[in-house]
Chain A
Amino acid sequence: MPDLPLSSLEPSFQQKYRFWLLLFVAIIIHQLPFISIPFKWLESYFHEISHGLAAIFTGGEIVQIQLFPNGAGLCTTRGGMAFIISLMGYAGATFWGVVIYSLASVHHRMAQLFAALLMLLIICSVLFWVRDILTFVIVSMLFILFSLHFKLKKLHYLQLLLQLTGLLVLLNSVLSPLYLIDGRALGDGQSLANISMIPEIIWVIMWSSLGVLGLVYLAKMKVKI
């Protein structure tokens, strides 16, 4: 564990239960009215970019990515495999949450490098796929959010903040699929239901369960360390 002093063999309380403390803080932040908004945008961004990357990896392309102030998003693609692209929205957000937390936990320098890579991804998104002012403003604010990570003088805090960001993305990816249970035949769940003939609710349960599994994985990973 990177933040353990070399002389100490026993981890402190904060180090031992860091995951649960950060998860508690993430739950609190998720409930706050204004503070939680940028993190919802972040989860929405990772959701849409996952759709887009899935389109690229299956032979398609991203036409446009749109984000909205209420945390909604829209990814317009051309070509690619519709099933994979639909599936990877919520699954991708879970993947991003786990990766952000895991890489931030490896080492301070790794956290710094990963934050730089995320900023590069955001810049690429703005250059290639953002075509409206509102999305530009939201993505710019996400860029500033990650830039603030870099402004931190101690790498230890950068690591903590990235871990918290990863947990917030993961928490949103657990809860976001539940919004699909609204009686309307809309969204990724319905798209998958149309393609696969498997009901939307099954996909919703699967996505939320995947997010919970991600949290369990991170909790166990923490115990191992």
Chain B
Amino acid sequence: MQISNANIAPQATQKINPQPSTESNSGRLENKGNNQQNPSALANERNRHLERLSADEHAIAAVEQDFNTRSKTSAHSNSTQFSSSAAGYDLPSSRNQGAVAAYQSVDNLAKRDSVQQVFGVDLFA
């Protein structure tokens, strides 16, 4: 939230200075006069403050939402890690995995050959 010092300064001066001089009275009158002359300007200023405040509220809401999303994602990844680590002991060893992959690659090779025989075409450029 942004606060403008320009609006607070005259009021503070009034409180500090209980016996105002003529100059200060005239100043107050002038200030009063200004306030009476420009009520719309004051209203605009107030609205501007409110807009700034509302924009900040939006930003805060967005940050909170982002934070919630992140916390949910991290929680999910933690649970996944937990489940994978829990099932890790059940997986075949890396050596066995290599053997299975080699076996499957041979199987795929045979399939590829059969597909080439069925759909086998040659390209000549």
Q: Which residues of A contact B (CB under 8 A)?
A: 48, 51, 63, 72-78, 80, 82, 85-86, 89, 186-188, 191
Q: How far is the CA of A158 from the CA of B96 in the complex (A)?
A: 75
Please pick, from B120, B121, B125, the residue contacting A73 in the complex, using a CB distance under 8 A. B125
Nearest CB on B from A7, distance (A): 52
The residue of chain A having its C-beta at the shortest distance from the C-beta of B119 within the complex is A78
Which of these, A48, A72, A85, contacts B122 with CB under 8 Å?
A85
CB distance from A132 to the nearest CB of B (A): 14
Contact with A along B100-125 (1 / 0, CB 8 A): 00000000000000000000111111
| Cβ–Cβ contact B125 & A77, under 8 A | no
In the bound complex, do residue B122 and residue A76 qualify as a contact, i.e. CB atoms below 8 Å apart? yes
A186 touches B122 (CB 8 A): no
Across the interface, which residues of B come within 8 angstroms of A48, CB to CB?
124
B121 touches A186 (CB 8 A): no
Residues of B within 8 A of A (CB): 120-125
Whether A74 and B123, one on each chain, are in contact in the complex, defined by CB atoms closer than 8 angstroms, is yes
From the candidates B120, B121, B124, name the one contacting A86 in the complex (CB within 8 A): B124
Contact call B121/A74, Cβ cutoff below 8 A: no
The 8 Å CB contact of B123, one of A72, A75, A80, is A75
Chain B residues near A85 (CB, 8 Å)? 122, 124
Q: Tell me the nearest residue of chain A to B122, going by C-beta.
A: A77
Besides A74-B123, A77-B124, A85-B122, 15 more A-B contacts (Cβ < 8 Å) are: A48-B124, A51-B124, A73-B125, A74-B125, A75-B123, A76-B122, A76-B124, A77-B121, A78-B120, A78-B121, A82-B122, A85-B124, A188-B124, A188-B125, A191-B124
Q: Give the complex CA separation of A85 and B124 in angstroms.
A: 8
Query: How far, in angstroms, from A77 to B121 measured CA to CA in the complex?
Result: 6
Ordered nearest first, which 9 A-B pairs have the shortest CB separation?
A: A51-B124, A75-B124, A78-B121, A76-B121, A77-B122, A63-B121, A74-B125, A76-B123, A187-B125
CA distance A48 to B124 in the complex (A): 8
Q: Find the residue from B120, B121, B122, B123 having the highest chain A CB count within 10 A.
A: B122
Task: Give the distance in Å from the alpha carbon of A76 to the alpha carbon of B122 in the complex.
Answer: 6
- In angstroms, Cα B125 to Cα A172, docked, is 15
In angstroms, Cα B122 to Cα A191, docked, is 11
Most buried by A among B120, B122, B125: B125
Q: Can you report 30 residue pairs joining A to B where beta carbons are below 8 Å apart? A: A48-B124, A51-B124, A63-B121, A72-B125, A73-B125, A74-B123, A74-B124, A74-B125, A75-B123, A75-B124, A75-B125, A76-B121, A76-B122, A76-B123, A76-B124, A77-B122, A78-B120, A78-B121, A78-B122, A80-B122, A82-B122, A85-B122, A85-B124, A86-B124, A89-B124, A186-B125, A187-B125, A188-B124, A188-B125, A191-B124
